[in-house]
Amino acid sequence: MLNYIIQGGNKLEGEVKVSGSKNASLPIIAASMLNGNQSKLYNVPTIHDIQIALKILKILGCKVKKTNNKILIDSSNITSYEIPYPLMRQMRSSVIMAGAIIGRFKNAIFSYPGGCDIGTRPIDLHLSGFRKLGINIIEEGGFIRCSCDKIIGTEIHLDFPSVGATENLMLASVYAEGETVITNAAMEPEIVDLQNFLNKMGAIVEGAGTNIIKIKGVNKLKEVSYTIMPDRIEAGTLLCSAAITGGTIELKNAIPDHISPILSKLEECGCKTEVKKDKISLIAPRKLISTEIKTLPYPGFPTDMQSIFGAMLTTAKGTSVIIETIFENRYKYTNELIRMGAKITIEGKMAIIKGVKRLSGAEVLATDLRGGAAMVIAGLQAKGKTKINNIEYILRGYENLDKKLNSIGANIKIEEGDKN
Ligand code: EPZ
């Protein structure tokens, strides 16, 4: 097990380059199985979730070569349609591979991804969408077997604008007969990135970024090179790191439009922000001001930033209120913050955070990916030393977070923990 040791109290000041997006890379890596050819991907973050996704592609028969942030994938020789159970359990978003395998081979076997630290994470919307496309689904022994002779384009309405279901249905429809229309589709920027990638391969997809996406089936897709968009959640995390320390930061390779809900909340907290083409700068006040947050599907405030703001608001002036509407179990990190002296009460979907003068360093746990990031934010401000256990969660979704923060004044070390 690995831990972070953070000496808190330093003001962060400087420039950081944002890495490529984890949540855009994963569906695009899945989509690279569609063309039966080469896909060259640039700006892919070197993080654990990407390693798992590439491991699945290799097991299915793809040739994969990764050099730093560039990945070369050759999907001409896929020999299996079964996503290995242990990898499904390790990363629930591997369900996204199913849509691509079904889309190309009309066959796929995978298992229920299982819940994770932030909620049950059902896939009913994925499966009901597959059925509407004419895919037969047999669920037995925890496995889901999908098969059909052909995929027929149709209209699919999503009861909830699920990001994964939207992406999976796009992937399953690219070779369908006729047109598929997804209504109440998720509008996240990662879906626009997936549409751009698919169209560069020769697919005909339009409407991503709105709640109606149309996919016209084609017969062939070609090789492609593509650069992944920057990670908007990493950008928000870095801004909040500077904000809680009363510092300043300039982000390079960030897209302001992707994080407008985050920027407006940071301004409500008293920060000054400035945006240029692909740069975002922030100057924090000596003391942040409390605010109210309600997480919503894009373009609302992102649920992935909820815990990070929760940590940042522990030392803001006044009382903040957060309402989490997307996942049912995304407040586990608050118990760890309370160990550091935070004043937080949870009432159902609501977290009430009463600002305290300063947190004090303690030994805490990373409860999940974004909960772990929240503990880093808290440790940067806390008095004394904070030890964060289980940072493997954080390494799943952030590339070199400690190095990036140390480059602008933080004091974070990684240590080997006990082997359990
Ligand atoms: C994606 O997860 C992201 N992951 C999540 O980021 C993000 O929090 C989430 O979208 C919401 O923005 C990736 O892109 C890899 P959903 P996903 O389907 O696709 C319910 C991170 O920290 N739902 O939009 O799994 C579901 O239970 C991760 O980077 C159904 O009920 O999210 C949840 O309550 C965490 N049935 C809500 O919808 C379904 O079939 C949103 O889920 C599917 C989803």
Which of 175, 192, 227 is a domain's end point? 227
Ligand 1 centroid, distance to 12 Cα (angstroms): 32
Residues 162 and 270 in one domain: no
Ligand 1 centroid, distance to 165 Cα (angstroms): 9
Six-digit token string for 73: 């994938």
Ligand 1 atom 9 nearest Cα: 163
Nearest to 332 by CA among 313, 315, 307: 307
**Which of 22, 49, 123, 163 is the pocket-test mutation for ligand 1 (most atoms within 8 Å of CB)?**
163
Active-site annotation, residues: 116
Six-digit token string for 282: 């922030």
Q: Is the CB of 187 under 6 A from ligand 1?
A: no
Q: What is the CATH number of the domain that holds 265?
A: 3.65.10.10
Nearest to 213 by CA among 188, 245, 238, 239: 188
pTM of the model: 0.97
pLDDT, tens digit (0-9, with 9 covering 90-100), for 290-302: 999 999 999 999 9
Q: Is the CB of 42 under 6 A from ligand 1?
A: no
User: What residues of the chain score a pLDDT lower than 50?
Assistant: none
Ligand 1 centroid, distance to 288 Cα (angstroms): 30
Residues 256 and 112 in one domain: no
Residues 204 and 300 in one domain: no
Q: Is the CB of 119 under 6 A from ligand 1?
A: yes
Q: Is the CB of 397 under 6 A from ligand 1?
A: yes
Residues 89 and 117 in one domain: yes
Ligand 1 atom 4 nearest Cα: 23
Which of 174, 196, 227 is a domain's end point? 227
- Report the alpha-carbon distance of residue 406 to residue 411 in Å, rounded: 6
Atom of ligand 1 nearest to the CA of 121: 27
Residues 262 and 386 in one domain: yes
Residues 223 and 279 in one domain: no
Question: How many domains does the chain divide into?
Answer: 2
The DSSP secondary-structure symbol of 93 reads G
CB-based contact 12:241 (threshold 8 Å): yes
Residues 105 and 166 in one domain: yes
Residues 223 and 234 in one domain: no
Ligand 1 centroid, distance to 163 Cα (angstroms): 6
Residues 6 and 38 in one domain: no
Ligand 1 atom 5 nearest Cα: 304
Q: Is the CB of 162 under 6 A from ligand 1?
A: yes
Ligand 1 centroid, distance to 92 Cα (angstroms): 10
Q: What is the pLDDT of residue 246?
A: 98
Which of 186, 211, 227 is a domain's end point? 227
Residues 223 and 238 in one domain: no
Residues 312 and 383 in one domain: yes
Q: Is the CB of 122 under 6 A from ligand 1?
A: yes
CB-based contact 108:130 (threshold 8 Å): no
Ligand 1 atom 43 nearest Cα: 123
Q: Which domain holds residue 249?
A: 2-18+230-416
Residues 398 and 373 in one domain: yes
- Report the alpha-carbon distance of residue 253 to residue 23 in Å, rounded: 16
Q: What is the pLDDT of residue 389?
A: 97
- DSSP for 169-215, please give it: HHHHHTT-BSEEEEES----HHHHHHHHHHHHHT-EEE-BTBSEEEE
Ligand 1 centroid, distance to 164 Cα (angstroms): 6
The DSSP secondary-structure symbol of 408 reads T
Q: How far is CA 114 from CA 84, 265, 404, in A?
A: 13, 33, 33
